[in-house]
Homo-oligomer: A and B are copies of this chain.
Amino acid sequence: MRPGLKRLAKKTRPDSIRAEVPATGPGSEKYQRILDAAVEVIAEHGYFSSPVSAIAKRAGVADGTIYLYFKSKDDVLRTAIDSTFDKFHRQVEEEFRTLHDPRAQLEYIAQVHLESHAVNRSMAVLMQTEVRQSAKFIAEFSHHHLVKYIQVVREVVRRGQQEGIFRRDVSDGVVAHCMFGAIDELLSSAVFTGRVYDSKATAAQVMDVLLSGIQTK
């Protein structure tokens, strides 16, 4: 891509040769190893109780090496959280292309959210423990991700209301927060107790409660 530009700048090194992955870039193996190590260590001890040296050790690199790949300790955590949310949103976006029923869409979101536990337990712990921390640098950028998540749910709820599937006399915002909070709490509880569950089945149960309520008719 943009071959003209590149060729102009580095005429002697054709794109065909190691065009991908700059040595210390996001794609390199060490980059990923550091990220994974950081997620593990921070999940175990918390951000502030995880010295950079502990992350480096877990990743099998020297302390200083971390700073070849990331600007700061903050940057490592930020990157890990960003990429998790990004993956979540990409997955949801992809599925929504073929899944149009609002009920099914909500259930899909619930399921993907709950699956995170199984996919990467450390990351799930980290998301539960650090994302809402009050340290301003984390809180502020994390908040942005949560807002985006809520917005996606709100849009689905609004569409469901327009289509007459959902009640119009409840606030889409309240519903979105309730749904996110319910799922997040189930996940959180599992994270803290070490319980495992079936994501699909649990998602179905949550949706049943959300859609029909718990009161007998």
Residues of A in contact with B (beta carbons under 8 Å apart): 2, 5, 12, 42-49, 103, 125-126, 128-130, 132-136, 139, 143, 146, 150, 157, 160, 164-167, 170-171, 174-175, 177-186, 188-189, 192-193, 202, 205-206, 208-216
Contact = CB atoms under 8 A, between A and B. Distances in A.
A129 B134 contact: yes
A157 B213 CA distance: 13
Main secondary structure of the interface of A (DSSP, over half): helix
A157 B49 contact: no
B209 A186 contact: no
Given A182-B177, A185-B184, A214 B211 contact: yes
A42 B133 CA distance: 11
Contacts of A184: 181, 185
Contact of A44 (B2, B130, B134, B167): B134
29 contacts: A45-B134, A46-B134, A47-B48, A129-B133, A130-B134, A132-B132, A133-B133, A139-B192, A143-B192, A157-B214, A165-B216, A166-B214, A166-B215, A167-B216, A171-B205, A174-B209, A175-B214, A177-B182, A177-B189, A178-B186, A178-B206, A180-B185, A181-B183, A182-B185, A185-B185, A209-B213, A211-B213, A211-B215, A213-B213
